[in-house]
Amino acid sequence: MASNKQTHILIVEDDLFLAEIYQKKFEMEGFKVSMANNGEKALVDIKKKLPDLVLLDILLPKLDGFSVLEALKSDKATKDIPVILLTNLGQQDDVQRGLEKGAADYLIKTHFKPSEVVDKVRKILHL
């Protein structure tokens, strides 16, 4: 990377196995990675750490991804942080709802390999 600052990604995923796969892939690509396993922790971590981008699952314990997204986009401190919804919910109305709430992209887990998710993140962050 050109700058000294590592690009920081927060992965919000309650499936630890899957979260670790994404974490390893992003770290191999030179990203700094934090993880949260529920929606409440995600909100706290996002406000505290201000990551460059959030990969957000929708089906989460304590607070679902749509609620997390809504809270982020309504907070002046976090509204400009890009959020990619990374989920298994593939219904068109879920996709539309996510994009309308301000997600930068909506990826269905089974349709994208981790390397493709990294490419999407790079594209959104212009890296």
What DSSP string describes 23-79? HHHHHHTT-EEEEESSHHHHHHHHHHH--SEEEE-SS-SSS-HHHHHHHHHTSTTTT
* Structural domain includes residue 99: yes
* Structural domain includes residue 41: yes
> Which residue range is the domain that position 108 belongs to?
8-121
Could you give the number of structural domains in the chain? 1
What's the CA gap between 89 and 29, in Å, rounded?
27
**How long a stretch of residues is the chain?**
127
Q: Please work out, in degrees rounded to the nearest 5, the angle formed at the alpha carbon of residue 85 by the alpha carbons of 82 and 89.
A: 165
* Burial of 20 per CB tally in 10 Å (0-12, 13-18, 19+): middle
Q: Over the stretch 95-111, which tens digit does the pLDDT of each residue have?
A: 999 999 999 999 999 99
Mean pLDDT, the chain, integer: 95
Describe the crossing of helices 92-100 and 65-73 by its angle, rounded to 10 degrees. Answer: 20
* Structural domain includes residue 2: no
**Which CATH number characterizes residue 96's domain?**
3.40.50.2300
Q: Over the stretch 23-77, which tens digit does the pLDDT of each residue have?
A: 999 999 999 999 999 999 999 999 999 999 999 999 999 999 999 999 999 999 9
